[in-house]
Chains A and B, each alone.
Chain A
Amino acid sequence: MTNIISIKDVFYKYPGASKYAVNGVSLDLQENEWISIVGKNGSGKTTLTRLIDGLEECESGTIEVDGQVMNEDTIWDARRKIGIVFQNPDHQFVGATVEDDVAFGLENQGMPRDKMVVAVDDALKMVDMQDYKKRDPQSLSGGQKQRVAIAGVLAIKPQIIIMDESTSMLDPDGRKTVINLIKELRSQQKLTVISITHDIEETQLSDRIIVLNSGKVVKDTTPADLYNLGPQLTEYGLEEPFTNLVAAGLKDVTSFNGYLSEKGLIDELCKLNSNM
């Protein structure tokens, strides 16, 4: 596996702040990996992704995106490879209609119009929103808006998608569609997904979880390992997953060996049932 992003000793302080928002972070993120970044509010998650996209400039340390060190000249190359879906769908729409918005990133690249029409259609098809092409974004639901935002990001064919709490303002249904969509897209294309989230279900899907606390990486591990920690999770601003709670409730009857996914839990319970 090749590294798509490597971060070395990055420090960043917001102007006027006394503490470092990102305090000496070093990370290697691999191609096609799904990475969740978790942590309490103000732990530096969003700042870290902004640094990766060059929206903020780091004070010291280097960030490499796809083998290129980020600096003034390479920023725009990096941004072509990275797509960010932000938290509030209302605040990231540029276009007056759905298709205009999806085309915005392509217009910035100077793509000729006939190619753009095809690319916009393809991107809208991927998120299953082609019927809403001519609609005004204000008339869509939250989940639909977020899907259009994802289409706008997909249209530029990025290698990395950053989801900056993109599902936090959606209802459970909208959240599920967006997560499933990302899951599907990652299996089809060689996408790297970096997702900042407080949503347990989302972290369970990832290959790797990075826990940040006051700008430092305090844990970098798989979901299974992290969720084995049990009640200690609350220290990192996470809840225990549903399966942990079920396992805890059943501890008088039986004890499972460590963290289980939902499917794993069902299998275990079936096994128990057949043993009886």
Chain B
Amino acid sequence: MDKLIIGRYLPGESLIYRLDPRLKFLITFYFIGIVFLANNVASYAFLLVFVLFAVYVSKVNLSFFIKGLRPMFWLILFTVALQAFFTPSSHPIWHWAFLTLSKEGLVIAAYIFMRFVLIIFISTLLTLTTTPIEISDSIESILKPLKVVKFPVTQVALMLSIALRFVPLLIDETTKIMDAQRARGVDFGEGGLIKRIKSFVPILIPLFVSSFSIAYDLAIAMESRGYKDGEGRSKYRVLKWSRRDNLTILFMVVITIILLLLRSYK
């Protein structure tokens, strides 16, 4: 579990941390969108510079981002290889049966690789610098317009924040159950696929049962503390929009304009 970087939060103090989480959330999605606008070496280089600049400003060690790539390594390699070998071309450098390696193919493969790196870096930056609860607050606030169509935004937000709050507790519970079952002779991660799946039954059943009992206890505790149905509640946590958020938006507009210029420059 410790190896997984995506979804982890690292406490910090830099500028990126202090940005409004709603803005960070939206910018991340926006950036993923504009990555697909890049179409030549200059525009990709420019986006890479932008991402590296964001990483630098966040003061998070670059090695975390490189570690974040690791779980995606095989997917990236597979996609890049497909692009490189299956791009049809009239001037192949190398040809064998149905595999063709050409200059165009290599360039496209390099672009795809860049896209992966950029998207993974920027989303890792979001999760490393934003606490899960800030992310769930942002989702609530971004979904707020859906109230018009009777979507239960406050309830969904509470559900999200409870789910996030119980992740570490359930991880603890899982380790405890696994240790208890190991003590009674269950062997995890041994034998064939079917045997391995079977050995997870003695973890899953107690885990579900205990999740239900935790949920029941929590519901009673919430009700005794006066929780009715999410309506008429005030909020203790507030998100504050500040001047630096406006500046960041301006900065993103400039980035987009430069990107569009580079895109049309051949």
Contacts and interface: CB of A to CB of B under 8 A. Distances in A.
Contacts, number: 93
B226 A76 contact: yes
9 contacts: A50-B220, A55-B223, A86-B217, A92-B221, A93-B165, A104-B236, A109-B234, A120-B236, A138-B172
B266 interface: no
B164 A91 contact: no
Interface of A: 50, 53, 55, 76, 79-80, 82-84, 86, 88, 90-97, 99-100, 103-113, 116-117, 120, 136-138, 152-153, 156
Interface residues of B, number: 30
B184 interface: no
Contacts of A116: 234, 236
Interface of B: 131-133, 161-162, 164-165, 168-169, 172, 213-214, 217-218, 220-228, 232-238
Most buried by A among B131, B172, B225, B227: B225
Given A79-B226, A84-B224, A96-B161, A106 B218 contact: no
B131 to A, nearest CB: 8
B224 A107 contact: no
Given A116-B234, A136-B168, A55 B224 contact: yes
Given A83-B224, A104-B236, A107-B236, 14 more contacts: A53-B224, A82-B224, A84-B224, A91-B221, A94-B162, A99-B236, A108-B225, A109-B234, A110-B232, A113-B235, A113-B236, A117-B236, A120-B236, A156-B225
- The 6 A-B residue pairs whose C-beta atoms are closest, nearest first, are A103-B236, A91-B217, A92-B221, A108-B226, A96-B133, A105-B225
A109 B217 CA distance: 21
A138 B169 contact: yes
Given A55-B223, A110-B233, A88 B165 contact: no
Contact of B225 (A104, A110, A120): A104
A105 B226 contact: yes
B152 to A, nearest CB: 17
Contacts of B237: 100
B227 to A, nearest CB: 5
A108 B164 contact: no
B234 A110 contact: yes
Contacts of B224: 53, 55, 79, 82-84
A173 B136 CA distance: 37
A109 B227 CA distance: 8
